[in-house]
Amino acid sequence: MDDSKLLDVDFGVGGITTSIRPRPLGDDLHSETMVVNLGPAHPATHGTIRIVAELSGEKIVDADVDVGYLHRGFEKMSETVDYNQVMPYTDRLNYVSPAINNFGWCLTIEKLLQIEAPKRAQYIRVILSEISRVADHLTCLGASAMELGAFTVMLYMMEARELLWDMIEEVTGARLTVSYGRVGGVKDDLTPDFGEKTVDVFKKVREHLVNCDRLLTRNRIFIDRMCDIALLTAEEAINYSLTGPMLRGSGVKHDLRKAFPYSSYEDFDFEVPVGSKGDNYDRFLVRFAEMEQALRICEQAIKNLPEGPIIVSDPHIALSPKDEVYNSIDGMINHFELVMYGVKPPKGSVYQGIEGANGELGFYVVSDGSGKPYRAHVRSPSFIHMGSMRKMLLGANVSDLVPTFGMINMIGGECDR
Amino acid sequence: MSDKKGSATDLLQVIAQEGGNLLLRSAVELGDLSVTVSAENLSAFLSLCKGSPALSFNLLVDITAVDWMDSRDSRFEVVYQLLSLSKLWRLTVTVPVPEGAPEVPSVVSLWAGANFLEREVWDMFGIRFKGHPDLRRILLYEEFVGHPLRKDYPVQGKQPRIPLRAPEVENTARRMERPDLVTIRARRGSKASDEARSAGE
């Protein structure tokens, strides 16, 4: 576009830094496109995000997706604290499924240390990850359904999520900011009656899921708003680096839990649902089917939960038992060293990706041999999925913007870090 | 999957056959293969990784950078993570970037997903990507001074205040002409008015 033809328009308070400007439509009516600024605080979007859309009538002819309103400098802050102290920061990445972020970080540091968490810890990680995944999908689908007018579904899903968060709270002591992972294992064991409680909770969650399925999946209005919107073929999805439900919605059967099993995921029997067309409806169906699979994994893990320790016994990695700390000089020294200087992985760099609720959640960590990460980087699925949003919106209607954004399931904390 | 190290060395052999002349270094670190290429050879090497049927690294997982300060000859290092969906291989490609002219070729033409990732590296490290269609800051604002993930950027650094981008919308209420203050009179018949009248008399 020729710069001289740009029209200078004032968009009010705060101004606008975008290349998107109205342009003549070139028809007989001498009309031009209209630029609409959506966000960063818009009632129809959950999360702070700005989309500057250029409209011709109701069609989106160009869009600028502006992220970064929740940037808190996760990566810079991580360089100033030791490896276990990063854990609370990871809670605040994808704050709908914080346990998964915790374990992703733990696995990365464990790979750097060349250790493996005990089998029981791995199973506990699987249980909490899968409960978090269901909670994440419930939030995504519930919020999206609400934005399309199905408020009842939102309430059902929030109730189901609350039941699951109660389970997480029982184990970790917190609903959202769990900080439950530890390098080499997990913080606490499951409560003794956790298994029995989940039977009841999962039964209720499944009832809610059946209700929501009845309300949404074959609902005419819902299908009309979701079907054939924001289409991405398998090649396009790969080209835009999509992962997780977005990639599987486009028909690519790729799941890191199957492709590169971590945390004993190879022990469990589960399906990887895939879509056929790659539209918003497929993404919805994939997420819905994944919830059932996640519950199945959970049940298998609870049933076959092995006995044993929940954290490695190396005193240079995990805190020693309190008996040793208070009653022996070695135990006291080890405790002191670990608290003061932290875990010290050998020099090197490592990338570890795990299957987060939204896609591949990866951590790239560079260690210089000291107790603090030299560099910590998060490969956040939300951020990368937002990169494909422009492509999905081109040619769509303004009203398609909200469901598309909902199905990307951008979590501000994860996207902007 | 059980023999991860084996698969990384297999991958190295394939890469050496396909484009070994483009590599500066290669190492198997913690079961993963990482190769180093120069910035000149980057485009050629990555398009080979993507295009060659023996490699078929079709998914660009991540782009990031590391600031090595004085500990290495070239201060920065741009790190690409690639994944082959069909062969289930992972590959880390690193590119040394000197401090004087921090620039590497953009790979947006190879993977559209590189767009946001390269903008983030530019934003955080100030490394330019030659040929990027729209290299703007992404997480921070345009007026931000410096690049915060460089090691010489202070953790507690303060940024200058910036003027509003658009002229501030004037508070029109302030300009509004105010009518003269209305004298408040007591209504007739009320107790106060009666008192006032009697006082006046």
**Do the Cβ atoms of A364 and B169 come within 8 Å?**
no
- Min distance A47 CA to chain B CA atoms (Å): 15
- With respect to residue B194, please indicate whether it lies within any of the assigned structural domains: no
Residue B120: per-residue pLDDT: 92
From chain B, the residues in CB contact with A17 under 8 A are 136, 141-142, 165
For residue A109, give the chain B residue with the closest CA: B30
From chain B, the residues in CB contact with A364 under 8 A are 62, 64, 79, 81
- With respect to residue B172, please indicate whether it lies within any of the assigned structural domains: no
Residue B2: per-residue pLDDT: 39
Q: Would you say A394 and A231 are in contact if contact means Cβ atoms under 8 Å apart?
A: no
For residue A240, give the chain B residue with the closest CA: B113
**Do the Cβ atoms of B29 and A377 come within 8 Å?**
no
Facing residues of B89 across strands?
A: B84
Which of the residues in chain B have pLDDT under 50?
Answer: 1-5, 168-169
- Min distance B177 CA to chain A CA atoms (Å): 24
Q: Is the dihedral of CA A248, A147, A205, A134 positive or negative?
A: positive
Residues 240-279 of A with CB under 8 A from B: 240-243, 252, 254, 259-261, 266
Interface check for A377 against chain B (CB to CB < 8 A): the answer is yes
Domain A74-313+342-416 falls under CATH 1.10.645.10: yes
For residue A108, give the chain B residue with the closest CA: B30
Q: Which segments within A253-399 are labelled E, that is strand? A: 348-355, 360-367, 373-379
- Min distance A19 CA to chain B CA atoms (Å): 9
Nearest one of A77, A133, A80, A70 to A104, comparing CA atoms: A133
- With respect to residue B24, please indicate whether it lies within any of the assigned structural domains: yes
From chain B, the residues in CB contact with A388 under 8 A are 112-113
- With respect to residue B109, please indicate whether it lies within any of the assigned structural domains: yes
- Min distance B15 CA to chain A CA atoms (Å): 20
Q: How far apart are CA A409 and CA A144, in angstroms?
A: 9
From chain B, the residues in CB contact with A350 under 8 A are 29-30, 32
**Domain range for residue B130?**
4-165
Q: Residue A15 is nearest to which of B79, B92, B165, comparing CB atoms?
A: B165
Interface check for A239 against chain B (CB to CB < 8 A): the answer is yes
Give the residue carrying structure tokens 């702070």. Answer: A48
Q: Identity (one letter) of the amino acid at A153?
A: V
Mutate to test the interface with B, among A349, A361, A380 (most CBs of B within 10 A): A349
Q: Residue A11 is nearest to which of B88, B140, B166, comparing CB atoms?
A: B166
Give the tokens for residue B161.
């205040």
| Count of pairs with CB atoms under 8 A, one residue in A, one in B | 123
Mutate to test the interface with A, among B11, B33, B36, B61 (most CBs of A within 10 A): B61
Q: Residue A348 is nearest to which of B30, B113, B155, comparing CB atoms?
A: B30
- Min distance A238 CA to chain B CA atoms (Å): 6
Beta strand B32-37 with B89-97 is parallel
Long-range CB contact pairs, B120-125, < 8 A, 24+: B120/A383, B120/B63, B120/B64, B121/B63, B121/B64, B121/B65, B121/B78, B123/B147, B124/A75, B124/B65, B124/B148, B124/B149, B125/B65, B125/B67, B125/B76, B125/B149, B125/B150
Residues 275-314 of A with CB under 8 A from B: none
- Min distance A120 CA to chain B CA atoms (Å): 20
Q: How far apart are CA A229 and CA A283, in angstroms?
A: 11
Mutate to test the interface with A, among B58, B116, B141, B144 (most CBs of A within 10 A): B116
**Do the Cβ atoms of B61 and A111 come within 8 Å?**
no
- With respect to residue B66, please indicate whether it lies within any of the assigned structural domains: yes
- Min distance B33 CA to chain A CA atoms (Å): 10
**Do the Cβ atoms of A67 and B138 come within 8 Å?**
yes
pLDDT block averages, 10 residues each, chain A of length 417: 41 52 69 78 77 83 85 90 90 89 92 91 92 92 88 91 91 89 89 89 92 88 87 90 91 90 89 90 92 92 90 87 87 89 90 91 91 91 90 87 88 86
**Structural domain boundaries in chain A:** 3-66, 74-313+342-416
From chain A, the residues in CB contact with B169 under 8 A are 12-13
Residue A2: per-residue pLDDT: 44
Facing residues of B90 across strands?
A: B83
Q: How far apart are CA A106 and CA A126, in angstroms?
A: 13
Q: Is-cis flag, bond preceding A40, omega within 30? A: yes
Mutate to test the interface with A, among B1, B32, B64 (most CBs of A within 10 A): B64
- Min distance B130 CA to chain A CA atoms (Å): 19
Give the tokens for residue A245.
């439900």
* CA dihedral of residues B27, B33, B34, B38 (deg, nearest 10): 90
ipTM above 0.95, yes or no: no
Q: Tell me A397's DSSP state.
A: B
First to last CA, chain B: 108
CA distances from residue A164 to A46, A154, A200, A206, A404 in whole angstroms, order as listed: 21, 15, 11, 11, 26
Q: How far apart are CA A359 and CA A136, in angstroms?
A: 12
How many other C-beta atoms can be found within 10 angstroms of the C-beta atom of residue A409?
29
Please tell me the total count of domains within chain B. Answer: 1
Give the tokens for residue A378.
């998060």
From chain A, the residues in CB contact with B61 under 8 A are 241, 243, 353, 360, 362, 379
- With respect to residue B121, please indicate whether it lies within any of the assigned structural domains: yes
**Do the Cβ atoms of A387 and B117 come within 8 Å?**
yes
- Burial class (CB within 10 angstroms; exposed 0-12, middle 13-18, buried 19+) of A194: middle
B121: CATH: 3.30.460.80
Contacts for A4 with CB less than 8 Å, ≥ 6 apart: none
- With respect to residue B130, please indicate whether it lies within any of the assigned structural domains: yes
Interface residues of B toward A, Cβ cutoff 8 Å, are 1, 29-30, 32, 34, 58-62, 64, 66-67, 79, 81, 85, 88, 90, 92, 111-117, 120, 124, 134, 136, 138-142, 148-149, 153, 155, 164-169
Q: Residue A13 is nearest to which of B111, B117, B169, comparing CB atoms?
A: B169
- With respect to residue B103, please indicate whether it lies within any of the assigned structural domains: yes
